[in-house]
């Protein structure tokens, strides 16, 4: 530097610490099974290991890495452990981590095409690839009327879809004058909570959300949906949006898309399909039938950051009519004007999302698809499904346990026959033991354990060990 | 693996490729001044270098890295170049890149405290540190009634603030019944476009946004604000929200917070303060006076991903009353219930933001603060301001150029005296040359060049060279 003074990390230091950290991460993944899966930290424990004040002078990287081990690791719930069976997975992989590293290293901000054409074009291109991999029709791609964009989460994708639906239903008057409380939207009792959150954020109100009843497989009743829409229309409401789910959070239930699409067509509603977790399965042709009808949706999303080896955040959001979305979300101040945008020849992804700025997230998805190849990804998805189905067969064959519902894919919902309290105690005991991590839900008002097979390195031995542990722990609890 | 088949990157491969990539990134930063700052790619150029179909079989990491160089790099606008003076910066640093890498390597999803206590507690702790560094009062920290959280962007922070304000103004009825078009909000003509976007997203409507006039320094007129609120109340509207800016995007104008805070108190409005870029300056006591009055706000945000060496995305969002925010955004489905949340002893940051899932972003900010220390950060902020002020003095002393407004910090707004067309051509010529990248705005209806000094490695020689190039290019244009 001109004045020879700088506090920046030098290039040599970056190389040295960077390589140390790469090794640290590799070591961490090699050791990951030795940690309790669910963090055993108590509230405040992590903070108690941190100084009250930030340092006045800079510290050595080694001091930071030591604190990561001593203070941070005990407060980590190890999502990447092969013994993590909780929630839905948030799996990742070597190529994804390296893609994220490259994105951070390049440090571009892709709000406009012009602020890094590669950031926009790679994203468009990879999302077109992925659309093909899932068997989505051309209308969801950039060569058709629509296109794909990476969102941080399915919640944000759903919010964007709801906003575009709101504007389509009001001929873009809501954007100008605000909402008037007349629009209604529809999900099922099993739809993800982000729909209720989006209704509130969008100013439509929770009371204008209809939670349609489900059948014995926890799939939305198309008949009940149709009736609810007719009832609302008769009452002067303006039905405008349906969120159908392929793979609900509680039990991977699949809403009947063809019937729902018919209803949306007949009544002029926007159909959004949320395939956050199960969408990844559609890269295998044999599972694609589960989301038959998705080709008729107005929008669709799924999360490679759940079950496609790409680290959070990476939600692929597709719309059939990109103009509806862009017109809903665009604002053009002078300081963002540029020739490329005004030519109309490019996408400016800031107009496809809530925030303005955006990272170069396509890199990690591109790396993942290229590292594995389509066949590699298919192999691992199939393997996870096989392991979950094997687990389900063990449950089926055990006298004390039962399946709450037949598992369509990689999530098994099951319970001990001894009732809700017993199952709750069983869950707590299992998670406190640190060897596996499961979560629960309620299905038909019954406390149900969920075991989801989807972490990158989960193999047969992990699933087998989990089942053995569940049986042993239940046995111990039975004896009191 | 049990079946000996896997397509995953092995630990050894990860170590090898990871270290190669670390070197690649270090090399990139060493070479960065050799690239055109603004990408010279034409629309479609990047995509034309990519195959139409994804690979069936996996590819070597070396092939991917080669494509990064051949296909991606020509489509990169080099935000990290020391010759990048456009927009606001989005700077980063070695420790930040490594923090992002560690976050990706750990791969935790911190939606709930329980899903990784360290992810939540480190974030709370570091945001308390940063509040102290900025001189924010205790009410914005976790030990008071409020607290801080990392958002992806100032746009999202503003949306969250607006939603909380909407609910406070309607006693949480909007969340239930939807909006009714009566609420009004206030910014200035210089407020960031994300306020208009948030008004639309939140269902409040663009027409209910009042863009208050500014004075000669592009600061909001408190008198005009007060008059607008009174006018709206008289007309039956419900004034509910003011977004004041410390460091506007066009010109780093500073709205008069003390007077605006008085008005908000008198009329019961929520005051949000957007310090997206300029907020970082407040770590230097001598610049803190610029945002005097921020201590009376209901919410405040600034972006370490702009001017505090932390890569996008990292916006620090503070609220004085965390309950108002949490009550606005919380939804609790069965599958997210857990003992820690129900104890009330922990923060669940999913309730502080739009999406559900979240990355471990506090790591990078923690690494940055510890690597530099408070004094190191102060040094570089001061140096950027010094360089911008030096540039401004050159403009002031040149017969053909003028400052559009006196620069308070690190952004210089200036123009050639030859008029709008000339300045527009000057900008185009400069950016097409690839040696520097500037953007523009309009101030008092005049086309104005903006030069913002904020990239990590921008030194005196870069600013000096930029000025020389601007003068030479203007001279050539005059003759041409």
Residue A4 has a pLDDT of 56
Q: Which residues does residue B243 pair with via DSSP β-bridges, in sequence order? A: B272
For residue B177, give the nearest of A43, A181, A345 by CB distance. A181
Domain boundaries B1-34+39-76, CATH class = mainly alpha
Contact of B56 with chain A, judged by CB distance below 8 Å, is answered with: yes
Nearest one of B383, B391, B392, B325 to B165, comparing CA atoms: B325
Report whether pLDDT(A1) > 80: no
Q: What is the distance between the alpha carbons of residues B45 and B298, in angstroms, rounded to a whole number?
A: 47
Q: What is the DSSP string of A269-331?
A: -EEEEE-TTGGGGGGSGGGGGGGTTGGG-SEEEE-HHHHSS--SS-EEEEES-HHHHHHHH--
Range 120-159 of A in CB contact (< 8 A) with B: 121-122, 124-125, 129-130, 132-133, 152-153, 155-156, 159
Please judge whether A346 and B43 are an interchain contact, meaning their C-beta atoms are less than 8 angstroms apart.
yes
Residue B172: its chain A contacts at CB < 8 A? none
CA A401 to chain centre: 30
The three-class DSSP label of residue A41 is coil
The per-residue pLDDT for range A222-256, each reduced to its tens digit, is 999 999 999 999 999 999 999 999 999 999 999 99
CA A384 to chain centre: 17
Please judge whether B180 and A175 are an interchain contact, meaning their C-beta atoms are less than 8 angstroms apart.
no
pLDDT tens, per residue, chain B with 480 residues: 444 589 999 999 999 999 999 999 999 999 999 999 999 999 999 999 999 999 999 999 999 999 999 999 999 999 999 999 999 999 999 999 999 999 999 999 999 999 999 999 999 999 999 999 999 999 999 999 999 999 999 999 999 999 999 999 999 999 999 999 999 999 999 999 999 999 999 999 999 999 999 999 999 999 999 999 999 999 999 999 999 999 999 999 999 999 999 999 999 999 999 999 999 999 999 999 999 999 999 999 999 999 999 999 999 999 999 999 999 999 988 878 888 888 888 999 999 999 999 999 999 999 999 999 999 999 999 999 999 999 999 999 999 999 999 999 999 999 999 999 999 999 999 999 999 999 999 999 999 999 999 999 999 999 999 999 999 999 999 987
Angle (CA) A257 A262 A263, round 5° = 100
For residue A367, give the nearest of B64, B102, B202 by CB distance. B64
Report whether pLDDT(A343) > 90: no
Q: What fold does the segment set A1-34+39-75 form as a domain?
A: dopa decarboxylase, N-terminal domain (1.20.1340)
Residue A345 has a pLDDT of 86
Contact of B442 with chain A, judged by CB distance below 8 Å, is answered with: yes
Query: B165 to chain A: nearest residue by CA?
Result: A201
Please judge whether A72 and B152 are an interchain contact, meaning their C-beta atoms are less than 8 angstroms apart.
no
Please judge whether A355 and B155 are an interchain contact, meaning their C-beta atoms are less than 8 angstroms apart.
yes
Residue B343 has a pLDDT of 84
Contact of B104 with chain A, judged by CB distance below 8 Å, is answered with: yes
Domain boundaries A108-359, CATH class = alpha beta
Q: What is the distance between the alpha carbons of residues B442 and B446, in angstroms, rounded to a whole number?
A: 5
Nearest one of A61, A62, A109, A28 to B95, comparing CA atoms: A61
Please judge whether A175 and B200 are an interchain contact, meaning their C-beta atoms are less than 8 angstroms apart.
yes
For residue B92, give the nearest of A107, A117, A346 by CB distance. A107
Please judge whether B205 and A15 are an interchain contact, meaning their C-beta atoms are less than 8 angstroms apart.
no
Please judge whether B203 and A102 are an interchain contact, meaning their C-beta atoms are less than 8 angstroms apart.
no
pLDDT band for A340, please (50, 70, 90 cuts). Answer: confident
Q: What is the distance between the alpha carbons of residues A460 and B160, in angstroms, rounded to a whole number?
A: 44
Please judge whether A152 and B152 are an interchain contact, meaning their C-beta atoms are less than 8 angstroms apart.
yes
Question: CA-CA distances (angstroms) from residue B58 to A164, A284, B16, B65, B70?
Answer: 37, 16, 17, 14, 20
Following CA atoms A159, A162, A163, A164 in sequence, which dihedral angle do they give, to the nearest 10 degrees? 120
Residue A480 has a pLDDT of 75
Q: Check: CB of residue B366 under 8 Å from CB of residue B99.
A: yes
Contact of A113 with chain B, judged by CB distance below 8 Å, is answered with: yes
Contact of A258 with chain B, judged by CB distance below 8 Å, is answered with: no
Task: Determine what percent of chain A falls in helix, strand and coil, rounding each to the nearest 5.
Answer: 50, 15, 35
Task: Determine what percent of chain B falls in helix, strand and coil, rounding each to the nearest 5.
Answer: 50, 15, 35
Residue A117: its chain B contacts at CB < 8 A? 39, 41, 43, 45-46, 75, 77
For residue B15, give the nearest of A22, A115, A376 by CB distance. A22
Please judge whether B180 and A176 are an interchain contact, meaning their C-beta atoms are less than 8 angstroms apart.
no
For residue B118, give the nearest of A75, A124, A174 by CB distance. A75
Residue B47: its chain A contacts at CB < 8 A? 121, 124-125
Q: What is the distance between the alpha carbons of residues A254 and A214, in angstroms, rounded to a whole number?
A: 10
Q: Is the pTM of this model over 0.90?
A: yes
Contact of B118 with chain A, judged by CB distance below 8 Å, is answered with: yes
Asked if the A373-479 domain carries CATH number 3.90.1150.10, the reply is yes
Contact of A204 with chain B, judged by CB distance below 8 Å, is answered with: yes
Residue A92: its chain B contacts at CB < 8 A? 104, 107
Q: What is the distance between the alpha carbons of residues B240 and B245, in angstroms, rounded to a whole number?
A: 17
Q: Check: CB of residue B395 under 8 Å from CB of residue B403.
A: yes
CA B92 to chain centre: 12
Range 350-379 of B in CB contact (< 8 A) with A: 354-359, 363, 366-367, 369-377, 379
For residue B109, give the nearest of A79, A203, A207 by CB distance. A79
State whether ipTM is beyond 0.90.
yes
Q: What is the distance between the alpha carbons of residues B128 and B141, in angstroms, rounded to a whole number?
A: 5
Please judge whether A115 and B41 are an interchain contact, meaning their C-beta atoms are less than 8 angstroms apart.
no
Q: What is the distance between the alpha carbons of residues B130 and B124, in angstroms, rounded to a whole number?
A: 10
Q: A with B: how many residue pairs have Cβ under 8 Å apart?
A: 534
Q: What is the DSSP string of A315-371?
A: EEEEES-HHHHHHHH----GGG--HHHHHT-S--GGGGSSSS----THHHHHHHHHH
Nearest one of B49, B88, B89 to B69, comparing CA atoms: B49
The distance of B20 to chain A (nearest Cα, Å) reads 9
The CATH-assigned architecture of domain B380-479 is: Alpha-Beta Complex (3.90)
For residue A331, give the nearest of B193, B328, B376 by CB distance. B193
Choose, out of B105, B138, B252, the residue to mutate when testing the contact with A (most A CBs < 10 Å). Answer: B105
Contact of B284 with chain A, judged by CB distance below 8 Å, is answered with: no
Residue B2 has a pLDDT of 42
Residue B372: its chain A contacts at CB < 8 A? 7, 58
The per-residue pLDDT for range A158-207, each reduced to its tens digit, is 999 999 999 999 999 999 999 999 999 999 999 999 999 999 999 999 99
Residue B53: its chain A contacts at CB < 8 A? 129, 132
Choose, out of B37, B357, B374, the residue to mutate when testing the contact with A (most A CBs < 10 Å). Answer: B357
Question: CA-CA distances (angstroms) from residue B1 to A461, A466, B6, B123?
Answer: 9, 17, 7, 37
Residue A2 has a pLDDT of 42
The three-class DSSP label of residue B479 is helix
B469, containing H or E segment:
helix B460-479
Domain range list for chain A: 1-34+39-75, 108-359, 373-479
Please judge whether B439 and A46 are an interchain contact, meaning their C-beta atoms are less than 8 angstroms apart.
no
For residue A11, give the nearest of B29, B109, B180 by CB distance. B29
Please judge whether B38 and A163 are an interchain contact, meaning their C-beta atoms are less than 8 angstroms apart.
no
Q: Check: CB of residue B252 under 8 Å from CB of residue B411.
A: yes
The distance of A188 to chain B (nearest Cα, Å) reads 13
Question: CA-CA distances (angstroms) from residue B109 to A77, A172, A468?
Answer: 9, 36, 27
| C-beta neighbour count of B4 within 10 angstroms | 5
Please judge whether A335 and B26 are an interchain contact, meaning their C-beta atoms are less than 8 angstroms apart.
no
Q: What is the distance between the alpha carbons of residues A175 and B200, in angstroms, rounded to a whole number?
A: 5
The distance of A81 to chain B (nearest Cα, Å) reads 10
Contact of A183 with chain B, judged by CB distance below 8 Å, is answered with: yes
Residue B284 has a pLDDT of 98
Instruction: Report the phi/psi class of residue A109: left, alpha or beta, with left for phi > 0 and alpha for psi in -120 to 50.
Output: beta
Q: Check: CB of residue B185 under 8 Å from CB of residue B208.
A: yes
Please judge whether B19 and A18 are an interchain contact, meaning their C-beta atoms are less than 8 angstroms apart.
yes
The three-class DSSP label of residue A416 is strand
The distance of B260 to chain A (nearest Cα, Å) reads 24
């Amino acid at each position: 530097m001109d004045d020879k003074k700088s506090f920046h990390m030098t290039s040599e230091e970056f190389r040295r610490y960077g390589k140390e950290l790469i090794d640290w991460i590799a070591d961490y993944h090699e050791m990951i099974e030795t940690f309790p899966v669910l963090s055993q930290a108590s509230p405040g424990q992590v903070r108690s290991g941190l100084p009250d004040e930030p340092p006045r002078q800079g510290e050595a990287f080694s001091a930071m890495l030591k604190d990561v081990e001593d203070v941070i690791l005990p407060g980590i719930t190890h999502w990447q452990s092969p013994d993590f069976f909780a929630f839905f997975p948030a799996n990742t992989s070597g190529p994804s981590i390296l893609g994220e590293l490259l994105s951070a290293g390049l440090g571009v901000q892709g709000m406009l095409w012009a602020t890094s054409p590669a950031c926009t074009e790679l994203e468009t291109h990879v999302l077109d690839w992925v659309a093909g991999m899932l068997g989505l029709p051309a209308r969801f791609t950039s060569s058709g009327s629509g296109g794909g964009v990476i969102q941080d989460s399915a919640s944000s994708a759903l919010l964007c879809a709801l906003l575009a639906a709101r504007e389509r239903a009001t001929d873009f008057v809501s954007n100008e004058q605000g909402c008037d409380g007349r629009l209604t939207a529809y999900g099922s009792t099993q739809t993800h909570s982000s729909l209720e959150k989006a209704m509130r954020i969008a100013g439509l109100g929770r009371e204008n959300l209809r939670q349609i009843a489900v059948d014995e497989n926890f799939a939305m009743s198309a008949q009940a949906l149709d009736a609810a829409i007719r009832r609302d229309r008769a009452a002067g409401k303006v039905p405008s949006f349906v969120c159908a789910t392929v793979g609900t959070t509680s039990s991977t239930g699949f809403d009947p898309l063809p019937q729902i699409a018919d209803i949306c067509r007949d009544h002029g509603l926007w159909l959004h399909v949320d395939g956050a977790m199960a969408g990844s399965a559609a890269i295998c042709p044999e599972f694609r039938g589960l989301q038959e009808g998705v080709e008729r949706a107005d929008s669709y999303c799924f999360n490679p950051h759940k079950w496609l080896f790409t680290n959070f955040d990476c939600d692929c959001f597709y719309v059939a009519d990109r103009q509806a979305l862009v017109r809903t979300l665009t604002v053009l101040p002078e300081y963002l004007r540029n020739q490329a945008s005004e030519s109309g020849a490019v996408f400016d992804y800031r107009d496809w999302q809530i925030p303005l700025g955006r990272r170069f997230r396509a890199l990690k998805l591109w790396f993942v698809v290229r590292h594995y190849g389509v066949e590699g990804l298919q192999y691992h998805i199939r393997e996870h499904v096989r392991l979950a189905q094997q687990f389900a067969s063990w449950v089926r064959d055990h006298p004390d346990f039962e399946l709450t519902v037949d598992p369509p894919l990689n999530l098994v919902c099951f319970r001990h026959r001894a009732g809700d309290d017993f199952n709750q105690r069983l869950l707590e005991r299992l998670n406190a033991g640190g060897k596996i991590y499961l979560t629960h839900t309620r299905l038909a008002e019954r406390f149900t354990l969920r075991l989801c097979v989807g972490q990158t390195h989960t193999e047969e031995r992990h699933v087998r060990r989990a089942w053995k542990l569940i049986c042993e722990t239940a046995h111990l609890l039975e004896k009191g």
